[in-house]
Amino acid sequence: MIHDNYLYIVLGMGLVTYIPRWLPLVFLSRRRLPEWFEQWLDLIPAAILSALILPILITTGEPRHLDLLRPELIVAVPTLAFAVKTRSLAGTVIVGMFLFWFAGKFF
Amino acid sequence: MKSEERTADWTAIIKDGVIGAWPICLGYLAIGLAFGVIAQKAGFHPVEIGLMSLLVYAGSSQFIAVSMLSAGAGIVPIVITTFTVNLRHMLMSSSLSTFMRNLGIGRLSLFAYGVTDESFALNSAKFRDGKWDWRRALVLNHATNLTWIASTVAGGFGGQFIPAGALGIDYALSAMFICLLVFQLRGRLYVIVAIIAGILAVALSLLLPGNTYIVAASVIAATLGVFLKRSKLFAWAEQKS
């Protein structure tokens, strides 16, 4: 091993990554949850997906700044339209990849 | 009889899970190779790379850890940074827990290992769609995990087997997220929450360091959504439409 303590470092990283993944599954899946909390959890996927994807599409760099002319965003518009129209995951992934590859020829 | 049922089941289950996982596997292949190449250039051995992918299994925190290790950072800052970067999985596991009812701790623990942004997004959509269960979700998680480990190790042998940008493969996960977001927009309330979360995430990502904006924006947006859902005004507006 090149790095001293490497095993301890990755073990530590693994532990602090695993616990947040594990705790809610074990504690919440066996409980009856209050209605407001069920409603909250039901809204989480839409919220997280939007919070994950939008910054990737319209911000860039370090430190981050807005950039509305990136191919990621421009390609996202027809990709989104295709997803809404067809509701096909496979089709959307393939169309998005093709458009991004195509856009790469111009940017 | 019972065990016969089980073996017959698993063939179909593994097939469904692995086939369902393909968009993630494609994306992980590209990012995993890139990670392996970067780590190898930073002086990591393929065994070290594979060990990290196996034990941590969280892409962005692995990139950060490699750059911190190269810069000579110690164990404590690296572990703390990893924790904050990966805390968002807590929200995802909480949300997935509503689909993982009445399972033993062993099965839950095995499933928890594979919760990532991507597997969460895909499993959520598939659970919502019906035709999905914890077994298929578990197979999907571990198929994507194996892809990640294999790709990062392959990259660690110095192979950029796929030229950067080839076939738009770098966009596979973004396109998947876009489509899965569309699947989650099951009514006006979801659209409103997604818009709030997206705008907040962009604003906070410009203000806050790291990726804390993901958790902050999602929590605030979902909380506002619950208040909105429970308010009389929204019920009235829904009735009118």
* pLDDT tens digits, one per residue of B108-136: 999 999 999 999 999 999 999 998 999 99
Measured between beta carbons, the chain A residues lying within 8 angstroms of B181 are 46, 49-50, 53
Segment A22-46 mean pLDDT: 95
C-alpha A21/C-alpha B92 separation (Å) is: 8
Kindly provide the ipTM of the predicted complex, given to two decimals. Answer: 0.93
pLDDT in tens, B178-192: 999 999 999 999 999
As given in the structure block, the two tokens for residue B166 are: 């080839």
What region, left, alpha or beta, does residue B218 occupy, with left being phi > 0 and alpha being psi -120 to 50 degrees? alpha
Q: Which of residues 57-76 of A touch B (CB under 8 A)?
A: 57-59, 64-66, 72, 75-76
- Residues above pLDDT 90, as percent of chain B: 78
Nearest CB to B23: which of A42, A76, A89? Answer: A89
What are the φ/ψ torsions at residue A66 (nearest 5 degrees)? -70, 145
Q: Do B206 and A64 touch (CB under 8 A)?
A: yes
B180 touches chain A (CB under 8 A): yes
Where are the domains positioned within chain B?
Answer: 2-173, 185-241
Task: Decide: helix, strand or coil at residue A60.
Answer: strand
pLDDT for position A2: 57
pLDDT in tens, A51-93: 999 999 999 988 889 999 999 999 999 999 999 999 999 999 9
**Contact residues, chain B, for A73 at CB < 8 Å:** none
- pTM for this model (two decimals): 0.89
Q: Distance between CA A12 and CA B76 in Å, rounded?
A: 9
Give the CA distances from residue A68 to residues A55, A58, B101, B149, in Å, rounded to whole numbers and listed in that order.
Answer: 11, 5, 43, 34
Once rounded to an integer, what is the mean pLDDT over residues B201-230? 95
A93 lies within 8 A of chain B by CB: yes
- Which chain B residues contact residue A62 at CB under 8 A? none
